[in-house]
Amino acid sequence: MNTTPSPRPSTTLRGVTGLDDRLPRLSESALILIDFQNTYRTGVMALEGADAAVAAGARLLARARAAGRPVVHIVHDGGDGTPYDIRARIGAISDEVAPAAGEPVVVKNYPDAFHRTDLRKTLDDLGVGTGGDLILAGLMAHMCVTFTAQGAFHHGYRPTVVAEATATRSLTAPDGTVLPASTLKTAALTTVTDLFGVVAPTVDAIPAQ
């Protein structure tokens, strides 16, 4: 007979502190698209599942535009000659999710898109105040998406990450084993749901109203 105790369901920090886990209404949210750059679709930084994430991001963007919601694009600038060179094709935003006229683009140099950028002012200018709902999607799940969700939480917003519209890559763990991209993505999104925000599994999971 197996006497090993079953794992107990965990209690999130959100649950302990009484934070709301409801999904946001698209009609009341702003969309933040993070680093949907060609960087992650080819070459040394190509991600597993990047094309599918971009396709999901394009569907999410189309929904936000159709609903007349604010959209902000984020790009990471790593400098001339790097895979994050926003002056070159490699660092450009992918065509499927390219900014439309009037949609602001915020350039960042750190994983958190709020850190040393004008993102908060941009949101203020769009009428999205502190406490507002932000829907996040982009690349990489374990890095800039997670840290921007953390930044949004620290600034008083309510971030929701759309899992389908994110991707990452496999990494070597400190013990030398390879952590698969799917595991790393799950861990990153679990970190978000423990405190910083909510995770919607798919684009269609976000209610319109």
Please write the tens of the pLDDT for every residue from 125-134: 999 999 999 9
pLDDT band at 2; cut points 50, 70, 90 = low
pTM of the model: 0.95
Residue 31 to residue 201: CA distance in whole angstroms: 16
pLDDT band at 205; cut points 50, 70, 90 = very high
Question: Residue 160 — φ and ψ, nearest 5°?
Answer: -130, 125
pLDDT band at 122; cut points 50, 70, 90 = very high
For residue 26, pLDDT over 60 is answered with: yes
One DSSP character per residue, 25-69 reads PGGGEEEEEE--BGGGTSGGGPPBTHHHHHHHHHHHHHHHHHTT-
Q: What is the dihedral of CA 26, 148, 132, 124, to 10 degrees?
A: -110
Q: The tokens of 94 are what?
A: 């992918």
Please write the tens of the pLDDT for every residue from 170-186: 999 999 999 999 999 99
* Domains parsed from the chain with CATH numbers: 30-202 (3.40.50.850)
pLDDT band at 4; cut points 50, 70, 90 = low
CB atoms near residue 128 (< 10 Å):
21
Residue whose entry in the numeric block shows the structure tokens 């620290």: 154
Name the residue among 55, 51, 58, 52 with its Cα closest to residue 73: 58
Residue 203 to residue 208: CA distance in whole angstroms: 11
68-202-192 Cα angle (round to 5): 95
Please write the tens of the pLDDT for every residue from 28-84: 999 999 999 999 999 999 999 999 999 999 999 999 999 999 999 999 999 999 999
For residue 123, pLDDT over 70 is answered with: yes
